[in-house]
């Protein structure tokens, strides 16, 4: 059961009957393409798995946990993942 990237590369290599190097390149390519699409503000949907997208967080006030002082947190964009129906069913 893959717990990290190295384990995932090993599982891909074994199941696809390819070298670990080729599996690593394939995994890196998939992850880089998803990241590039998100960087452009695009959504990436993988049928049966889920959808990656970008959400905007508004500026807000927060607290410094060490001092308790109020600080301003600037607006930002964050990646989101919504699991597809098939993945949700596997997890249940």
pLDDT tens, position by position, 11-68? 999 999 999 999 999 999 999 999 999 999 999 999 999 999 999 999 999 999 999 9
Q: What is the pLDDT of residue 71?
A: 95
| pLDDT at residue 82, as a whole number | 97
pTM of the model: 0.81
Using only C-alpha atoms, the chain has a radius of gyration, in whole angstroms, of 18
pLDDT of residue 88: 95
Q: Domain residue spans in the chain?
A: 5-91
Q: What is the DSSP letter of 4?
A: S
Asked if residue 2 has pLDDT above 90, the reply is no
- The fold for domain 5-91 equals HU Protein; Chain A (4.10.520)
What count of other Cβ atoms lies within 10 Å of the Cβ of residue 37?
A: 15
For 84, list phi and psi in degrees, rounded to 5: -75, 165
Please determine, for residue 1, whether its predicted confidence score (pLDDT) is greater than 80.
no
50-74 b/e with 16+ CB inside 10 Å = b? bebbeeeeeeeeeeeeeeeeeeeee
């Amino acid at each position: 059961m893959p717990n990290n990237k190295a384990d995932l590369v090993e599982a891909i290599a074994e199941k696809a009957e390819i070298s670990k190097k080729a599996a690593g390149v394939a995994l890196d390519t998939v992850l880089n393409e998803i990241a590039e699409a998100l960087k452009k503000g695009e959504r990436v949907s993988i049928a049966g798995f889920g959808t990656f997208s970008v959400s905007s967080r508004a500026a807000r006030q927060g607290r410094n946990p060490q001092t308790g002082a109020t600080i301003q947190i600037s607006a930002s964009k964050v990646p989101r993942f919504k699991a597809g129906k098939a993945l949700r069913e596997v997890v249940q």
